[in-house]
Amino acid sequence: MTTAAKAPIRAYSGIQPSGAPHLGNDLGAIRNYVALQERYESIYCIVDYHALTSVHDGDRLRRQTREMAAALIALGLDPNKCTLFVQSHRPEVLELAWILMTVTPVSWVERTPTYKEKKLTQPDDVNHGLLTYPILQAADILLPKASVVPVGKDQAAHLELSREIARAFNHKFGETFPEPQAVFTEAPVVLGTDGEKKMSKSINNTIDILSDAETIKKQVMSAVTDVKRPLKSDPGHPEACNVCQLHKLVNPDYKELWESERNATTGCADLKRALAERLTAHYAPARERYQELLAVPHEIDSILGDGAQRLLPLVTETMHEVRERVGLA
Ligand code: AMP
Ligand code: TRP
């Protein structure tokens, strides 16, 4: 690993194997994973244990885990610069999660916004894993003693809980874990094509960056734009238009487009076409790499296997220390 010149800080993030990532994942989190691998020792994990709280289909989980690995590499993670692994390949995390559960009051997890949300979105499957989910997330981060965690804003409450859990453990058993800090990109919440809610696969408002040009175009053209501009001849309000906001995030020349929106030289459909073209062109190399990687699953598996192996000494050291502190060794 090329860690010699990096700051002595460890970054960690986890992502669920929920199929190929969307624009919100990339702008809100993955682009920071890629940036941080240059600066810190960085560990990225495909969290298949977490996914089991919603996916009960072995073949699908296996396929989506590989797809996420291929997508992360295609979007810029370099296995020579960071460690990429699958959560269940280092099952030590479950032992740490159990130990952390014993220092976490039930009230802390019951008040987690994502748990409340899941109770509404999957009311027929409010399994216990959903409640314990953020404690496993804390274990993910604390096992390698990471202190920097690149995530989107929706993970802020989980990160706060991870800090509280680290503090609770340290208070009972002595200083063991650093308190992890969330780091955000300049787009911590990317809105979906509905222009209202966070972009998310579960509400079908995504722009699927690794899809073909036609799919991207269809998704972008369906986007809600400036609702205060009923006619093309009316002046536009780029600050209030989600498509203009997306241009700002992916287009260095966005100011010109905003201006032509303001003075009604371009219409919303023109802006959407331009966005679709830009996204298609920008993600074309990643899309190609993604397809190439999917065609060689053994290579993906080998990268993931190496990642888990590389983590063994670090994980063994933390677990040895934790067991000793709590009295299991
Ligand atoms: P998920 O697909 O929910 O596992 O999310 C993976 C990462 O992407 C997490 O760090 C999320 O916080 C981030 N993320 C997901 N959706 C968005 C969004 N719409 N805007 C910004 N970040 C997001
Ligand atoms: N809960 C995160 C999500 O849904 C995924 C995750 C699991 C995670 N473990 C993590 C993120 C550790 C950061 C750090 O997106």
Q: Work out the pLDDT band at 3, boundaries 50, 70, 90.
A: very low
Instruction: Determine contact, residues 74/33, Cβ cutoff 8 Å.
Output: no
Mind telling me the catalytic residues? 118, 198, 201
Ligand 2 close to Cβ of residue 72 (< 6 A): no
CATH class of this structure's domain 4-190+296-326: alpha beta
Protein residue whose Cα sits closest to atom 10 of ligand 1: 151
- Examine the pLDDT at 2 and tell me if it is beyond 80: no
> SS3 of 25, please?
helix
Ligand 1 close to Cβ of residue 29 (< 6 A): yes
State mean pLDDT over 85-110: 98
Of 314 and 240, the one with more pLDDT: 314
Ordered alpha helix ranges (H), 55-127: 58-74, 92-101, 106-110, 113-121
Model pLDDT for residues 38-67, shown as the tens digit of each residue? 999 999 999 999 999 999 999 999 999 999
State mean pLDDT over 113-130: 93
The residue type of 7 is A
Share of the chain above pLDDT 90, in %: 85
Residue extents of the structural domains in the chain: 4-190+296-326, 211-282
State mean pLDDT over 242-253: 92
Superfamily of domain 211-282: Tyrosyl-Transfer RNA Synthetase (1.10.240.10)
Phi first, then psi: give them for residue 46, nearest 5 degrees. -95, 115
Q: Provide the edge-to-edge strand list for the sheet that holds 181-183.
A: 82-86, 40-46, 7-15, 148-150, 181-183
- Examine the pLDDT at 4 and tell me if it is beyond 70: no
In a mutational test of the pocket of ligand 2, which residue from 33, 53, 155, 201 has the highest number of ligand atoms less than 8 Å from its CB?
Answer: 155
Are 4-190+296-326 and 211-282 equal in CATH topology? no
